[in-house]
Amino acid sequence: MEISVNGKTETVGPGSTVVSVLKAKELDPALVSVEHNGKILEKSDLDGAVLSEGDELEILFFMGGGAA
């Protein structure tokens, strides 16, 4: 089935979860935030969030830094 990840169409298998997508991208779920169809997911909900055809994911990376 096809979903959108950060604006790009990707194909995932039936029954895929948000965590399975993150692991396939070699991303640590503890280090990113994920928006699923416009709703920010709690870390505890990532593994239970089963994806459906046409779903939209935005994977957000936070970086530290700033002016000294």
Residue 67 in domain: no
CATH classification at residue 53: 3.10.20.30
Q: Which residues of 50-65 are buried (b: 16+ CB within 10 A; e: fewer)?
A: ebeeebebebeeeeee
Residue 66 resides in a domain: no
Query: What confidence score (pLDDT) does residue 61 get?
Result: 86
Written as tens digits, the pLDDT of the chain (68 aa) is: 999 999 999 999 999 999 999 999 999 999 999 999 999 999 999 989 999 999 999 999 877 666 66
Query: Regarding beta strands 2-5 and 8-11, do their DSSP bridges make them parallel or antiparallel, or are they unpaired?
Result: antiparallel
Domain count, the chain: 1
Asked if residue 68 is part of any domain, the answer here is: no
